[in-house]
């Protein structure tokens, strides 16, 4: 079965652990649902957060979805002048039986402006 990359992003209103958890869970659940996947389909996930988000690791929030056996890692997004603030991005790698052109990328909570060509 092919491995596909699925992109997603969400934006927080504040650097707050409760909001981080809520936003990341919402994002990952939407990515799974919109691509008709389960956690079993996931190979790995890479999360990034903008430098203004330091309250917790986004991967820690995702672990609450029962992803204990899925390799997750976090990194800091590069600080580009004028870039959108308080953004968590994710790239999920998954076994997915659909063409790359049919993969549904998910952008929520104002992060849609990052990739208007992909956002639903």
| Proportion of the chain above pLDDT 90, given as a percent | 75
Per-residue pLDDT, 117: 60
> Is 63 among the catalytic positions?
yes
Please report the DSSP string for 57-98 in residue order. Answer: -HHHHHHTTT-TTS-EEEEEPP--TTPPSSEEEEEEEEE--S
Per-residue pLDDT, 111: 77
Q: What is the pTM of this model?
A: 0.91
Which residue out of 4, 86, 89, 109 is catalytically annotated? 89
Q: Into which CATH architecture does domain 3-112 fall?
A: 2-Layer Sandwich (3.30)
> Is 74 among the catalytic positions?
yes
> Is 55 among the catalytic positions?
no
CA distance linking residue 84 with residue 37, whole number of Å: 29
Pairing of strands 42-49, 87-95: antiparallel
The pLDDT tens digits for 38-64 are: 999 999 999 999 999 999 999 999 998
CA distance linking residue 57 with residue 71, whole number of Å: 14
Place of tokens 């996930």: 45
pLDDT class of 120 with cuts at 50, 70, 90: low
Per-residue pLDDT, 118: 52
Which residue out of 7, 11, 86, 109 is catalytically annotated? 7
Query: Domain residue spans in the chain?
Result: 3-112
> Is 34 among the catalytic positions?
no
CA distance linking residue 71 with residue 63, whole number of Å: 10
Place of tokens 């990052």: 114
Which residue out of 77, 97, 102, 109 is catalytically annotated? 77
Which residue out of 22, 26, 34, 74 is catalytically annotated? 74
């Amino acid at each position: 079965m092919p491995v596909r990359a699925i992109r997603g992003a969400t934006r927080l209103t504040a650097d707050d652990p409760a909001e981080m958890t809520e936003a990341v869970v919402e994002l990952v659940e939407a990515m799974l649902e919109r691509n008709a996947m389960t956690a079993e389909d996931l190979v790995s996930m890479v999360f990034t957060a903008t430098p203004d988000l330091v309250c917790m690791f986004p991967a820690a929030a995702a672990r609450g979805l029962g992803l204990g056996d899925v390799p997750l890692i976090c990194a800091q997004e590069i600080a580009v002048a004028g870039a959108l603030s308080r953004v968590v991005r994710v790239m999920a790698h998954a076994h997915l039986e659909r063409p790359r052109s049919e993969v549904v990328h998910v952008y929520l909570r104002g992060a849609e402006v990052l990739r208007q060509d992909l956002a639903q």
